[in-house]
């Protein structure tokens, strides 16, 4: 059961329990950032360090085993840039058209 965006008091579940587990994925935190990480796949060694150290869990593995940041959730903290052992991640300014 998915809650409506702004439920009225009659539509709220009993005791304001949240019926859908993990529904914060609908809340996109990607617009918090000023710098975005860009992965250079020619230098990437597929170690997964960026994936395990990401506090937003934004890194996703693609079918070839590379990791890429999901900009809908990435808050731009730069931990992946600092921790990458191959130094293949650069922080670039996010430009909004």
Partner 1 sequence: MSVVQRPKEAYLNVFAYRMAPKEEFFTRGHRACQGCGPALGLRHIMKAAGRDTIVVNATGCMEIISSPFPYTSWAVPWIHVAFENAAAVASGIDAAIKALQRKGRIPKKKTNILVIAGDGGTADIGLQALSGMLARGHNVTYLCYDNEAYMNTGVQGSSATPFGASTTTTPAGRVSFGAGYWKKNVAAIAAAHDIPYVATACPSYPLDLIRKVRRSFELEGPAYIHLFAVCPTGWGTPPELTVRMGRLAVETGIFPLYEVENGRYKLTVDFPQGLRPVEDYLKNQRRFRHLTPEIIQQIQERITAEYERLKMMEKVTQE
Query: How does DSSP classify residue 34?
Result: S
**What is the number of alpha carbons within 13 Å of residue 35 lying toward its C-beta?**
10
Comparing CB distances to partner 1, the nearer of 56 and 68 is 56
Comparing CB distances to partner 1, the nearer of 33 and 39 is 33
31 in helix, strand or coil?
A: helix
48 torsion bin: left (phi>0), alpha (psi -120 to 50), beta (else): left
Of residues 49-88, which lie at the interface with partner 1 (CB under 8 A)?
49, 51-58, 73, 75-79, 81-83, 85, 87
| CA–CA separation, 24 and 22 (whole Å) | 5
Comparing CB distances to partner 1, the nearer of 16 and 96 is 16
Q: Does residue 41 bind partner 1 (CB under 8 A)?
A: no
- Locate tokens 């999901």: which residue? 70
Which one of 32, 40, 41, 43 is in contact with partner 1 (CB under 8 A)? 32
| Binding-site ranges for partner 1 (CB under 8 A) | 3, 7, 16, 18, 20-29, 32-33, 46-49, 51-58, 73, 75-79, 81-83, 85, 87, 91
């Amino acid at each position: 059961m998915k809650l409506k965006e702004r439920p009225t008091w009659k539509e709220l579940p009993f005791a304001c329990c949240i019926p859908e587990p993990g529904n914060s994925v609908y809340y996109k935190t990607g617009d918090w950032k000023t710098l975005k990480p860009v992965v250079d796949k020619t230098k990437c060694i597929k170690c997964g360090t960026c994936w395990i150290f990401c506090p937003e869990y934004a890194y996703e593995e693609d079918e070839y085993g590379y990791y890429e940041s999901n900009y809908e959730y990435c808050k731009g903290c730069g931990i992946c840039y600092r921790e990458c052992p191959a130094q293949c991640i650069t922080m670039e300014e996010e430009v909004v058209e």
